[in-house]
Structure 1
Amino acid sequence: MRLCSIASGSSGNCIFAGTETTSLLIDAGISGKRIEAGLNEIGCTAREADGILVTHEHADHISGLGVMSRRFGIPIYATKGTREAIVKCKSVGEIPEELFREIEPDREFSIGDITVSPIGVSHDAAMPTAFLLRQGEKSMAVMTDLGMYDSYIIEKLQNLDVLLLEANHDVHMLQVGTYPYYLKQRILGDKGHLSNELSGRLLSEVLHDNFKTVILGHLSKENNYEKLAYETVRLEIDMAENHYRAKDFPIYVAKRDMVSDVIEF
């Protein structure tokens, strides 16, 4: 399996996930041109894409969705609530009805040789999901845009090989920053985004002996930076009440505006 962040951050998100025979995009929140260029950079093409999995309808996740789906006839997999919100979004343009595939949290489905498990998450969107992908004994998940986690999330993320996990903001940077009060409260709330600290704590709950790689993603441009996210998550792992340490696993930070390294396993 392969996982690659084409773009990941508060200004736009698009993740590639695939196998030798199946190619998927998770979100299309940057321009179609950038998505195509990113795919080409890792040896893929948009025409090969078998589906676009949409986490939710916010602009940084769907701004290039209409263009990509219409141009290449790529099916869109989204919950009922997300689909209805996308249809109301004029900037996406009209998407042919036949390109939508309705999905539900906790109901698995297959695309090619990949089994997809949507995971319900807490975010201020219509019906948001994260995604767990499996091929045989291999598994990976993309878990972003959630304000909190609970036992349900922890259970869903057990025994993964690779995890792309949100580390959106540093709490102190957000609190003293220039965002208006209501926006700060939204981000810090249960339907907002995971802080660096919460990201590290969640990661500590799902590490296991065969865990291979974690990628930190969806970093805020204004309220975080790569080294801070990286070091904070590492510290949380080292302080956790388990026998794992941050040095035991590769930890990468997804690039905000460029293609990150491809993780193969």
Structure 2
Amino acid sequence: MTMRFSVLASGSTGNAFYVETGEQAFLVDAGLSGKQMEALFSSIDRELKNLSGILVTHEHSDHIKGLGVLARKYKLPIYANERTWQAMENLIGNVDVEQKFTFDMETIKSFGGLDIESFGVSHDAAEPMFYVFHHEGKKLVLITDTGYVSDRMKGIIKDADAYVFESNHDVQMLRVCRYPWNIKRRILGDFGHVSNEDAAIAMSEVIGDRTKSIYLAHLSQDNNMKDLAKMSVTQTLEMKNMPVGEQFELLHTDPKTPTVLTEI
């Protein structure tokens, strides 16, 4: 059975990602309200009650806003590392102990033919981590919320069939925007978010022969635009002799509308 996925929502207002195989179905993060999450699932013709569990990347509200509500309503297992559990315990309300599972960083958990690999990123959270999904020789990478992409990360995410890759901001837009300087400094720093150009440079070092699609994710609503992100990433990749639209394509994500459920 093939692996399918949808970026349900991506951006500063909330993030959620869905992946399924024939036997398993996981949600990564629930950064929108319970009602919004139910509507997103309905729009891809899936039901929350059928989830195998929810994987958490980190405790920021745009990733866990609806987590407690969904876990309680649908009795879903939640997977997060120990420090993330400690950081979000008071933010998600009461969750039964039987629903709480630890997923350590830099480990692999297997769920009936779906191997999920966790890896650390550089972000101002307790212990942020993202995931690589392996199923029947296919590889799907989810990486956002990182100030930079280290060589270690590149080694883990190299040569995937598909990427959901942060392309958070345009540096010039960020520099002149209305944000206070301390916020700008945070975003631009090593524990903030990756810019369009830096994302493209990292992509150029991990794209492999089997890479077919890259979804530009977690765009800032104030300091980026879909067309600008795509143009910036395209220019940088093409300068590195990686023509977009030949072997692989760049695709948009949206804060409110899910991407089409896509098979790898």
Shared fold (TM-score, shorter chain, > 0.5): yes
Please name the residue that 1:103 is paired with: 103
Give TM-score scaled by structure 2 length: 0.96
Please name the residue that 1:5 is paired with: 7
- Whether the 8 Å contact between 1:207 and 1:244 is mirrored in structure 2 is no
Unaligned runs of 5+ in 2: none
CA distance in 2, matches of 1:102, 1:185: 32
Please name the residue that 2:145 is paired with: 145
Shift of the alpha carbon at 1:8? 0.4
Please name the residue that 1:246 is paired with: 244
Structure 1 segment 173-188 matched on structure 2, within 5 A: 173-188=173-188
Shift of the alpha carbon at 1:59? 0.2
* Corresponding letter in the other structure for 1:121: V
Shift of the alpha carbon at 1:169? 0.5
Q: Secondary structure at the match of 2:228?
A: helix
Please name the residue that 1:234 is paired with: 234
Match of 1:47 among 49, 54, 74: 49
* Corresponding letter in the other structure for 2:107: R
Shift of the alpha carbon at 1:244? 2.5
CA distance in 2, matches of 1:111, 1:53: 13
Please name the residue that 1:35 is paired with: 37
Tell me the alpha carbon deviations over residues 84-130 of structure 1, each in whole angstroms, 9 at most, x when there is no partner: 111022xx221122211111121110223311100100000000001
Please name the residue that 1:203 is paired with: 203
Tell me the alpha carbon deviations over residues 168-220 of structure 1, each in whole angstroms, 9 at most, x when there is no partner: 11111001000011000000000000111111111111112211111011011
Q: Once superposed, what is the RMSD of the aligned Cα atoms?
A: 1.0
Q: Secondary structure at the match of 2:122?
A: coil
Range with greater deviation from structure 2 (221-230 or 100-109):
100-109
Range with greater deviation from structure 2 (185-194 or 12-21):
12-21
Shift of the alpha carbon at 1:45? 0.4
* Corresponding letter in the other structure for 1:198: D
* Corresponding letter in the other structure for 1:251: L
CA distance in 1, matches of 2:50, 2:81: 23
CA distance in 2, matches of 1:111, 1:181: 44
When residues 108 and 74 of structure 1 are mapped into structure 2, their CA distance, relative to the original with a 3 A threshold, is: same
Q: Secondary structure at the match of 1:122?
A: coil
- Whether the 8 Å contact between 1:77 and 1:102 is mirrored in structure 2 is yes
Segments of 4+ moved more than 4 angstroms: none
Q: Secondary structure at the match of 1:17?
A: strand
Q: Secondary structure at the match of 1:247?
A: coil
- Whether the 8 Å contact between 1:52 and 1:76 is mirrored in structure 2 is yes
Q: Secondary structure at the match of 2:245?
A: helix
CA distance in 2, matches of 1:121, 1:64: 23
Work out the number of aligned pairs and report it: 261
CA distance in 2, matches of 1:99, 1:85: 17
Shift of the alpha carbon at 1:159? 2.0
* Corresponding letter in the other structure for 1:253: H
Unaligned runs of 5+ in 1: none
Please name the residue that 2:123 is paired with: 123
Shift of the alpha carbon at 1:142? 0.6
* Corresponding letter in the other structure for 1:246: V
* Corresponding letter in the other structure for 1:30: L
Shift of the alpha carbon at 1:25? 0.4
CA distance in 2, matches of 1:73, 1:111: 18
Range with greater deviation from structure 2 (33-42 or 193-202):
33-42
Match of 1:57 among 59, 64, 68: 59
Please name the residue that 1:170 is paired with: 170
CA distance in 2, matches of 1:208, 1:27: 27
Match of 2:20 among 7, 10, 18: 18
